[in-house]
Each structure stands twice: as C-alpha cells, then as structure tokens.
Structure 1
Amino acid sequence: MLPLEKEQEVRLGLELATKRQEHADLDAAIDTLARSGLADATLLQRLKKRKLALKDRIVQLERLLLPDIIA
C-alpha cells in the first residue's frame, strides 16, 4: 500500500475522530433507550445496525492510518 499524503492523513484522522464520537454517542443513546423501555425493538435494531456500520468504518480508517508492520 502506498503511503498517504499528509492532507489525506489529516482528513482521514478527522473522519476517524468523528466516527468514534458518533459511535460512542450512539452507544449511549441505545443504552438509554433500552433502559427506559420506551423504544420499540425496530428502532433499537436500526440504531444497532448504524452502530455496527460505524464500527466497520472505524476499523477501515484505522487500517488505512495505522498499517500493520511486519516485524
């Protein structure tokens, strides 16, 4: 894989930070809704699916920014 240009690295780093925050916020929202008992199962399932998609993107960004180093 080719090394990232500095501008790309910064842009991806900002996206990574944003996605991590969204993931944490969504986790808190899911927890709050589940505890309250006010949310229906469909809503919780949609939120969990969105959280999983965010996690997948986070992993993808981390791999781009922190490539595996074979020792």
Structure 2
Amino acid sequence: MSLRDVETPFFMTLYYLYCWIVCPLLVSTLRQIQPHSIEHDYTDAVAFYPIDFDPEHDTPEVVSAC
C-alpha cells in the first residue's frame, strides 16, 4: 500500500511490537479514536493506519496474536 494512494484524511501511528514504552500508548490511543469515529459516524471521512517499523519480525500472525 502506498500512502500516496490514500485520498481521505488519515491517522497514522508508527510502531513496532517490541517497543514497550511509547508504542503501546500510541496504538492504544488509535484504538480509542477509531470507535469514536464509528460512534459519531465519520468513518468514511477518516482512515486509520497503524504502520509497523519492523515487518520482518512483526508478521501479520504475530500482530494478530497481541
């Protein structure tokens, strides 16, 4: 996926799973904003993209298990 292809405004959070201080806070905040967007019906106006710094280790299976 290329961010150049995204046409709507978006929230982007950069993280990696083995970051124990800042990354959980960033992902947690994103998880709180997303339900708010659903509740207030602006899901079509904003996209949410958590972007991993370490895709070699943080595979989709590893991320799903968290």
**Between structures 1 and 2, the one with greater strand share:** 2
TM-score tier (shorter): 0.3 to 0.5
Scaled by the length of structure 2, the TM-score of the pair is 0.45
**Greater Cα radius of gyration, structure 1 or 2:** 1
